[in-house]
Amino acid sequence: MSNELAPLQAFQERVSEKIRKDIGEMLPEDVVKALFDKAVDETFFKPRTISSGYDRKELPSWFIEEITKAGKPILEKAIVDYVETHKEVIQTAISQFLTAQNITLLTVAAMNQGTQNQIWEVANNIMSQLRSR
């Protein structure tokens, strides 16, 4: 982590030095640091908003976006490894779920069939009554 932080600190120092030289020592060190900290925070860590016409879209910060990109392959590999290691448990869970769903689906189908039969009988009775008139 310190190796990754060193370039950011070096960059901060270079930018601070450049600002001090360009402004000619008009700003105290703590003001320059505060300005830099604010710029880094707004650039890298604040959520972004993109506007086009009437639409506004909220995007995550650049930092979160980059962490997500970097972490995605790691998480995908971890998931594949987990599934490979726990195949039997997952297959049992899927089997139990499908068995429970089959019972539910068969119950719904039976109820649906019974309802259809009742509707058919009612329609048939109405048609019979209309024919007999």
Residue ranges with strand state E in the chain: 48-52, 55-59
Query: What would the pLDDT profile of 6-46 be if each residue is shown by its tens digit?
Result: 777 788 888 877 777 776 567 777 887 888 889 888 888 89
Q: Where are the domains of the chain?
A: 86-133
For the record, the structure tokens of 21 come out as 């030289």
Q: How far apart are the two ends of the chain, measured CA to CA in Å?
A: 91
pTM across the whole model: 0.43
The token pair at 26 is 């008009």
**Residue 1 pLDDT > 50:** no
Q: Give pLDDT tens digits for 55-98.
A: 889 999 989 999 999 999 999 999 999 989 999 998 898 888 77
13, two tokens: 């120092």
- Using one digit for the tens of pLDDT, what is the confidence trace for 100-116? 777 777 777 777 777 77
